[in-house]
Amino acid sequence: MQEFKKLIFYLNQKIINLGIVAHADAGKTTLTDQFLYQSGTIKTLGDVDKGTSHTDFLEVEKQRGISIRSAVTTIFYNNTKINIIDTPGHIDFSADVERNLRILDAVIIVVSAVEGVQAHTENIWDAISKLKIPCIIFINKTDRLGADPELVFEEIKTELKSCFVAIQKIENIEDNEPQPLWNSDKPNDTIIEILAEFDDKLLKSFINEESISFEIADKVFKQLVQNFNIIPTLIGSAKKGLGIIPLLNAVVNYLIPDDNPHESELNALIYRIDYIQGKGKIAGLRLFGGNISNKDIIYNATKDINEKVHQVWQYNGAQLIDTGLVEAGDIAAVSGLNESSVGDLIGKVANDIPNISMFTPLLTLQVRSVNDSDYAKLGEALTILSDEDPSLELEWLNDLQEFHLKIMGWIQIEILKQTLDNRFGVEAVFEDPTVIYRETPKKTAEGYAKYWMPKPCWAIIKLKIEPGESGSGVQYESCLSTDKVQRKYQNEIERTFQKALKQGPKGWEVTDLKIQLIDGEDHEIHSRPGDFVIATPMAIMNGLINSDTDFLEPYIGFKIKAPLNLLGAITGDIIKMRGSFNSPAINNDKVIITGELPLATSLDFPVKLSSRSGGKAKIKTWFETYRKCSEEHAKAREYKGVNPLDEAKYILKARKALQDSNK
């Protein structure tokens, strides 16, 4: 009976997974608290400044008053279940936003009525527009001194370059209560004219000055929102609770499709991992089809394994509510999937879900425990954190007792340090970050490895290595007959070479090259698949030494908006940093400068720019590409572990005959 009641509940409710996204401090979390409060879900409003908000429940979030990890909560409004995903706003935690964008049905982008379109607002908008996720713009903080929602709306249209439609305005600046421009009492002609540009029937009626009912026009309005043709824009103050109910009505009226059938077969995506005390590893899933119940056996298509679900919960801020069932269209927390990871597809009919990369971690650093006795504890903590956030790409070099992470910036370092202390009780030191360089072959060369001693073993490999086009990555091809090296051994070579390229002669990952297997030999008696796993890195490194390698350094693209009187100083700074810029665009007393900068020389440029301009200049940056650079502008690093060039030691290590240096 309980399962039947749950099924009836799902059949009678619309469900929407709604993301709240914005630049930091625009008011996302306060808006989420207002949704909870005004929908009757909670009785007392939270306060970000006091550390009592419903979705900033981590200790580090309470202390700092910022969101560092997305949180999920649920409200019920107008017969609709709205799963709200409150995302981080700081650029250092963009990877979390990226993961959530894959499971959202719709988005509210929050923009401050004082600060307007900020740098990260544009980054978020670029990602959403590429995925074409239906969205609403909410211009927040209209109660603040200096707020100018009309000016910000014009800035949104100019900067984000889409069809934004204002459906509210503020007539009385004293009470800041938004007034509707679009409802059955006010079928605004200006808005109808905008809609008519996308709809032939509406255009014909508009041209012929025929009467157009609000119901007909509103149906077109909704369809255009669903198709990402228009973006409704509303205004209000989350802190004062102004405009919240009209915003909720707009979510229900325009962001939810009238008909959204789901597949009957299981089709889901694991979009987050959490480790929760008392519950262990919890996988966050979005179901696009089918259902999952307690004790179900489900298929992980990515890893080609079956796992048993222990329990199904619904997220509710810091709490998990036992539901025992999750249906298509919904999201849930599931325990028991201990082998699964973020990004895994679930179900035999699972379809790949579009992904978008907002930022690429371009810095790496070493983490060590203050107390040597905490080494293992630190390793366990970092393993958990990297499972929750795969963008960290933890590298645990046990032989050297070193931990290396990839990170976005300084705020992330501070948060990680505080998290290790608060959550895991580990005091850690983070070394100064280093820009992540790469290597690429200078010329065509051959790499050779002969692994046939000590017996039993036999693997002979000859590779041709040649430079590839910039940005081409790694291309591999076997030109060798299976008469010389059996297919099963060739498969091991192909599986191993990517790992072998993680470190080149200068200590960095090697990319933009072509590898051909051109010769080799196996032995009928002595060869084993593992022999070719050992020989492949030796042949790769031998070939890279013969070809030599160039450094590649990361470049970021930038867009600066600044007062015109700073043009000379800013372009001078760009030249000093080895950057380049396009012809500046000048508009009255403002200038827009676009171009590229090496990351290594521009790490502190946003801070310097803000200081130079008194906060009047804004900069938006993004990863552009890797470019060749000279030895003087790059930094080689030591090979981590045993270098395959040291063949004797490397073979002993690979055969587990070499004792760890730390023992």
Separation CA 34–CA 242 (nearest Å): 9
**Any idea what the Cα angle at residue 110 is, between residues 611 and 134, rounded to 5°?**
135
pLDDT at residue 535 in the model: 97
Separation CA 80–CA 63 (nearest Å): 34
Separation CA 498–CA 502 (nearest Å): 7
- CA distances to 169, 303, 361, 391, 434 from 554, rounded to whole Å, are 45, 32, 10, 17, 12
pLDDT tens, residue by residue, 12-29: 578 999 999 999 889 999
Separation CA 354–CA 375 (nearest Å): 38
Q: In this structure, what are the phi and psi dihedrals at residue 16, rounded to the nearest 5 degrees?
A: -140, 135
Helix and strand element counts for the chain (H, E): 18, 37
- Tell me if 179 sits within 8 A of 168, measured CB to CB: yes
* Segments in the chain below pLDDT 70: 1-12, 57, 172-175, 186, 657-663
Q: Is 64 left (phi over 0), alpha (psi -120 to 50) or beta?
A: alpha
pLDDT at residue 263 in the model: 75
Separation CA 57–CA 55 (nearest Å): 6
Domain 363-436 and domain 551-629 have a common topology: yes
pLDDT tens, residue by residue, 210-230: 888 899 999 999 999 999 999
* Best CATH choice for the domain 363-436 from the list 2.60.40.3880, 3.40.50.300, 3.30.70.870, 3.30.230.10: 3.30.70.870
Closest Cα partner for 369 from 427, 325, 425, 449?
Answer: 427
Q: What is the pTM of this model?
A: 0.88
Separation CA 443–CA 235 (nearest Å): 59
- The alpha carbon of residue 553 and the mean position of all alpha carbons in its chain are separated, in whole angstroms, by 22
Q: Locate the domains of the chain by residue range.
A: 2-182+228-254, 267-346, 363-436, 439-547+640-654, 551-629
Q: Homologous superfamily of 2-182+228-254 in CATH?
A: P-loop containing nucleotide triphosphate hydrolases (3.40.50.300)
pLDDT at residue 100 in the model: 95
Separation CA 111–CA 662 (nearest Å): 53
Residues 6 or more apart from 294 whose CB is under 8 A from it?
Answer: 309, 310, 311, 312, 324, 325
pLDDT at residue 657 in the model: 67
The Cα diameter of the chain in Å comes to 91
Q: Homologous superfamily of 267-346 in CATH?
A: Translation factors (2.40.30.10)
pLDDT at residue 357 in the model: 81
Q: What is the CATH code for 551-629?
A: 3.30.70.240
pLDDT at residue 57 in the model: 66
Q: What share of the chain is helix, strand, coil (3-state, %, to 5)?
A: 30, 30, 35
pLDDT at residue 66 in the model: 76
660's tokens: 């760890």
Yes or no: domain 439-547+640-654 corresponds to CATH 3.40.250.10: no
